[in-house]
Structures are given as C-alpha cells and as structure tokens.
Amino acid sequence: MQLQEKPQLQPKIDSIFPDESSIPTEFQLPDPIHQTEYLIDGLLRQWEGSRQEVSSSIYVKTADGFSQKVIGSVPILSEKEALEALDAAVVAYNNGRGHWPTMSVSGRIEHIQDFAYRMKEKKQEVVNLLMWEIGKSYPDSEKEFDRTIAYIEDTIDALKNLDRTNSRFVLEQGIIGQIRRAPLGVTLCLGPTNYPLNETFTTLIPALIMGNTVILKPPRLGVLLNRPLLEAFRDAFPPGVVNVIYGKGRDITPPLMASGKVDALAFIGSSKAASSLKKLHPKPHRLRSVLGLEAKNPGIILPYADLDLAVKECVLGTLSYNGQRCTALKILFVHSQIIDVFLERFCDAIANLKFGMPWEKGVTLTPLPDIEKPKYLTELVEDAKSLGAKVVNEAGGTVNKTFFYPAVLYPITSQMRVYHEEQFGPVIPIVPFDDIEVPIQYMVESDYGQQVSIFGNNADTISKLVDPLVNQVSRVNLNSQCQRGPDTFPFTARKDSAEGTLSVTDALYAFSLPTLVAAKQTDINKGMLTQIVREHKSNFLSTDFIL
C-alpha cells in the first residue's frame, strides 16, 4: 500500500497544548481545589495529613514553558481512617438490622431520588472536573453525567417493577410464601479511571437501593470530580450508609478486605488487582464479587462487508475516548481480500479526526490521563516494529507529553505483545487473515471474553460465526462497534473480563439475595399473615404496591 505523505500533522501535534490565556472562560478552572474533606458516618471530616496532588492530563504554556495543570489535591488517608469508614458501614448495616437495610423499598427510593436531585445541581462542576482530570471531551463528559442520572432513574423504575412483582404472596404445595430481594451487607465500591462517575455509580446506586451500606473509594485518576457530591451523599442518606475515602488503593483497600467485614466487592479494573483483593478475604465464600475487568475485543472484517460502515464503526470502536474503554475494539482482523482498501480508508478516517483540547468543538483525540501511558504505548509500537509490523498511518505513535497520536500497526502477528496485551489506548493492531479460523482461534485462546464485532453482509457466513462466538464472549455485535449500552441490556463477560452481570435490572440482583418468608397454609398462619399485611406491621411482608 502506498502511503500518502501529509506532513502537516506533526506541527499540529507539537503545538497541541494551549496557552493558559487561550482557554475559553467557561471551561477555565477556578483556583485549584485542595480537598480536605472525606465522609465517614454522615460527617464530613477534615484531613490535615499528607495529600495527593491531582494533575490534569492537560499541559498549559506558562512563562517557564509547558507544565501539567495542577487542579487540586485530595487527602491520603491511612488504614486507620479506612477502617473507621468500614466500621461506620458495618454499624449502619448492623447485621441487617440497621435502619437502612430494613427500610421499605419506597423509603430507600426516596433517598436515592433526593440524592439524584442534589447531584443534578452539581452537574457543571462535575462535568468540568471530569474533563480536566481525565481529558474526556466536554460533550463526552457531559454525556457521562447525563447517562449516570438516566441510570439512576432507570434503576428506580426497575426496582419499582421488581417490587410490584414481589408484592404478592405465592401459594405452592400448601405453602404460602413471599419472595423478595434482601441486601448482602457492606459493599466496597471501587470505580475506574475511564468512567469514574458512570461506572462507579452503576454499582454504587444498585448496591445502595437494595439496602447495602457502602464504602466508596474513587480511582486515582478521576477523583476530584467526586468532591462536589460529598454534601449530597451526606445529606441524602442516613449516617454510615455512604462513606467516601481517599488514598492509595494498595494501602487502604487490603485491610478492608482482610477484615472479613466486606460482604460485596464491586470493582472495575484489572483482573490481577481483583484477584489479589478477593484472596485477602478470610472467608471468600461469604464475598459476592461484581467485577468489570479488562478485555481485548476483536473486530472481524469479512470480505464484502460494507466498508464505509466498517471503517466508521472501527474508528469509533478503536478510538472513542482515545481507545480507553473496556469495550473498545482492541484488535482488528481484516480479510486479505480487502486489507489494502480497508487500511487506506481507515487511515484516512483517522487523519480526519480532530485532535486537541477536550473543550474544542468536534474534538475526538485528546491527551491521556495516565502520564505513564505514552511510554507503554510506545513500547508496544516498538515491539511490533521490531518483529516486522509497520506504523501505516501518518504521524502514528507521535508523542507530545500526555498526547499520543493513534498508531495503526500492520501486519500484526501472534509474536507481538500488542496481539495479546490490552493496550487501553490509541494503538490499533491489524491482523490480516484468509481463514476465519484465525480470529476464532484468537478468541478461543484469549484470556478475555467480553465482546466481538463482526462486519459482513452474508447471512450464511454471519450465522456460522454467531453460533460459535456467542460461547466465546457475552455479546456479538453485527456491523457495529462493541459497547456497553443500552444500559438495560446485560453487561457481562467470560473468562478474565468480568464476574457478575450489570444492567439496570441485573445489577439489582447482583447486590441482593432472594429471600422469602414461608408458612404452611394453616388457619393460624393465614390469620397472622393477614393481620401483618393489613396493619402494615412489616416492610418485608407487605402487599403495598409502589406506583
């Protein structure tokens, strides 16, 4: 393939970072936020100990040259405060006898609604911090916030539905039963950097609404955006129900798990970290884990696929938020018959993507939040090059501080690191194939099993692929990129990519246990149950119908 030289990209990459004065007023950050508060047992405590500086993924030009924008700092709590947060959650749960776990479903819904109301008032602050902290484009940051609010509202609706179904007694083989969902206990919620708000809340909200008490620890990157929500957590929930702690994960999360007092672990991150946390629990069978882990979703582009569509979806799939999505397409298998034309169109489409600062209109590619990431991505590119691959797009792999211009690598073989490792960034490995067994074997042998995208238009070929592939992954996407949404669809995976299922409804099940009250159909039992229900004596035994 003949590559066209378009040398104008390099100078644009070199000058990607702005002068402080050129940042539009509405996106400028006020003074750095030096957060001293953390939330334990309904109190915002003040921290006077050591602190972690929070830097933006964005560099700005100052009189002394370029420097990474400091947007604030957060407390580095110690094991002592983490265990105090745990105690507060344990007391609020009180072995299932606390006010929160025994509250009526409608009561808990009111608290969550109150929280959502307070949260909406903080939208601008949260969105701006999200953008500055992790370099997500402004529209995508706003989308993350709105999607989270919609998730909360959908969760409430799903619980109302579930509760309506459960607000009745069943009669089976002479036994009267009422079956509901009961909470698990104390939940440790650890969210990810790429969706620090949305993905954290997709476990936090269902855990809370089902009656669990929570210790929330935000991720290392994507942490300050939680500050505007601390008062809402404090004011919307009873003391101890939500506790928010800060600090180094490796110091404060192991003691929580080792205490044996965590009943549910909600974690979005690497399988390695998840395994080591789980192993610390002294009674692992008592621990429910809900995990969203790494993935290496392949895109398979068959001959006769609609190439315009395939290119469009593969660009979205590989490069939305710079490829930093667990659902991103992280390797493309392209049939040899169409490889040349695919590469040409794909590279052209990438060259047309706007790159720059997250507030710039129409921007797609932005700086990366993890300062170490460009080095790692460069290593992957160099490894592939040393084994025979080429960077086939103009300026691919060019680095300017935290910005990494997408590198399209071709041809990729199984000897190269990027064939196996989850790059979680803008490096796109492309493997040519003649035999469909090549991508199928890749999936069979992979440690990951989240999703796949197949591009093609032949019903026979597609159906022959769908049947084996649904047993390799948990979602097969036809002629579209991989994605989590709509949030009402089950979101799960096989192998090292997930444990448990998260959709609006599945998450309610994930953070609860079916529990029933059963009684033989005798006159005494019938009379007693009727009296309990009629006189509203119990929150569990109840036929109240939430509208």
Provide the binding-site residues for ligand G3H, judged by CB under 6 A.
Answer: 194-195, 199, 325-327, 483-485
Return d(Cα 186, Cα 86) in angstroms, integer. 8
**Residue number with CB closer to ligand G3H (88 or 265):** 265
Return d(Cα 365, Cα 32) in angstroms, integer. 25
Question: Terminal CA-to-CA distance of the chain, rounded, Å?
Answer: 63
**Residue number with CB closer to ligand G3H (223 or 245):** 223
**Residue number with CB closer to ligand G3H (98 or 206):** 206
**Residue number with CB closer to ligand G3H (41 or 199):** 199
Residue 69: C-alpha distances to residues 28, 60, 138, 375 (Å): 11, 6, 17, 20
E strands, 377-534, in order? 390-391, 399-400, 403-404, 407-410, 427-433, 448-449, 451-455, 475-478, 494-495, 498-499, 512-520
Is 255:79 a contact under the CB 8 Å cutoff?
A: yes
Return d(Cα 279, Cα 254) in angstroms, integer. 10
**Least spacing, CB of residue 480 vs ligand G3H, in Å:** 11
**Least spacing, CB of residue 166 vs ligand G3H, in Å:** 29
**Least spacing, CB of residue 481 vs ligand G3H, in Å:** 8
Give the residue among 268, 199, 210 at the shortest CA–CA distance from 93.
210
Is 81:246 a contact under the CB 8 Å cutoff?
A: no
DSSP tally for the chain: helices H, then strands E: 18, 25
- CA quadruple 56, 57, 59, 60: dihedral, nearest 10: -50
**Residue number with CB closer to ligand G3H (195 or 359):** 195
**Least spacing, CB of residue 502 vs ligand G3H, in Å:** 8
**Residue number with CB closer to ligand G3H (198 or 446):** 198
Return d(Cα 367, Cα 362) in angstroms, integer. 15
Q: Could you check whether the bond before residue 282 is cis, i.e. omega within 30 degrees of 0?
A: no
**Least spacing, CB of residue 325 vs ligand G3H, in Å:** 4
**Least spacing, CB of residue 326 vs ligand G3H, in Å:** 3
Q: Could you check whether the bond before residue 411 is cis, i.e. omega within 30 degrees of 0?
A: yes
**Least spacing, CB of residue 122 vs ligand G3H, in Å:** 22
**Residue number with CB closer to ligand G3H (55 or 327):** 327
**Least spacing, CB of residue 491 vs ligand G3H, in Å:** 7
**Least spacing, CB of residue 272 vs ligand G3H, in Å:** 17
**Residue number with CB closer to ligand G3H (453 or 483):** 483
**Residue number with CB closer to ligand G3H (215 or 502):** 502
Token pair 């990438």: residue: 350
Is 17:401 a contact under the CB 8 Å cutoff?
A: yes
Is 61:17 a contact under the CB 8 Å cutoff?
A: yes
